[in-house]
């Protein structure tokens, strides 16, 4: 179990900072995964769904760079191009990735069930709503008009365009807290569906919570998830839960609708009591 944020703070939660794809929109975090696979395919390189999803949540350029360093990918690249991938290749793929991602985002912009109601419940408790994302400003410009029309309007949106380094570095979460005017960091919760999200929250000194069913680690559309047998659903969620727990999440929940209950547990000191037990 990860260490709790600064134990000297015992006040209420003042802000929740949400990830976007896989957490509040795009059930299964499907928009990015397909595009990563496509940009490598165009260069004759096969990348699996599992490989494409591995670094999810990071700056998309960093994500591509990590994929090029996989031995499976680098070996294919050498066969196809008589050399290993270079930083120029990373930049070329990222430039190609951005417009493809923008179009994919528009197709995967549905609000995740329970998100609007959860955010309304948190706001009713006086909690501010922030957001961070591995998408850049251009990508978010395609997404936010759709989500605004659907009723999701966070108090602030911080993208990788706003910081010197993306996840798991803490800068986006810290920038969100600054824009919200909230401190100390122990009064903030970071919710996300990837290992990189968990790292971002932990490195910022916040409560870091992972979400499973509609996130990247399960990686299924709402329809695909609903079609699973009870045993298959449990098995996939168990693997995803363990991955987020191993990343250091303070809590891992099945779905976003469970978050208000966890916020109450944090405020009531349940996490600290469990550590002492």
Q: Which residues are catalytic?
A: 19, 60
Nearest to 50 by CA among 191, 268, 243: 243
Measured distance CA(24)–CA(112) in Å, rounded:
5
The helix (H) or strand (E) run that includes residue 226 is helix 222-227
User: Partners of 248 in the beta sheet?
Assistant: none
Q: Find out whether the peptide bond into 47 is cis, omega within 30 degrees of 0.
A: no
Nearest to 272 by CA among 250, 255, 253, 252: 250
How many distinct helices (H) and strands (E) make up the chain? Answer: 13, 5
Measured distance CA(117)–CA(256) in Å, rounded:
10
In terms of Cβ atoms closer than 10 Å to its own Cβ (0-12, 13-18, 19+), residue 50 is exposed
């Amino acid at each position: 179990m990860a260490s709790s944020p600064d134990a000297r703070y015992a006040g209420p939660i003042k802000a929740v900072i949400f990830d976007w794809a896989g957490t509040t929109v795009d059930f299964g975090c499907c928009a990015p995964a397909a595009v990563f696979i496509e940009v490598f395919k165009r260069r004759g390189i096969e990348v699996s769904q599992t490989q494409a999803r591995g670094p999810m949540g990071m700056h998309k350029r960093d994500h591509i760079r990590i994929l090029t360093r996989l031995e499976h990918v680098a070996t294919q690249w050498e066969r196809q191009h008589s050399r290993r991938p270079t930083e120029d290749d990373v930049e070329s793929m990222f430039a190609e990735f951005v417009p493809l991602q923008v179009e994919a985002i528009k197709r995967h912009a549905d609000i995740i069930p329970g998100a609007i109601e959860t955010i309304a419940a948190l706001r009713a408790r006086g909690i501010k709503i922030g957001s961070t994302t591995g998408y850049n400003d251009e990508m978010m410009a395609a997404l936010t008009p759709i989500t605004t029309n659907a009723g999701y309007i966070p108090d602030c949106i911080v993208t990788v365009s706003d910081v010197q380094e993306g996840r798991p570095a803490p800068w986006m979460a810290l920038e969100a807290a600054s824009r919200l005017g909230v401190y100390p960091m122990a009064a903030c919760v970071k919710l996300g569906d990837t290992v990189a999200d968990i790292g971002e929250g932990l490195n910022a000194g916040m409560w870091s919570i992972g979400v499973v069913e509609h996130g990247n680690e399960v990686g299924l559309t709402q329809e695909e998830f609903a079609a699973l047998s009870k045993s298959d659903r449990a098995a996939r969620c168990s693997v995803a839960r363990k991955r987020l727990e191993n990343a250091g999440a303070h809590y891992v929940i099945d779905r976003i609708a469970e978050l208000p209950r966890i916020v109450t547990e944090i405020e009531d000191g349940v996490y600290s009591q469990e550590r002492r037990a």
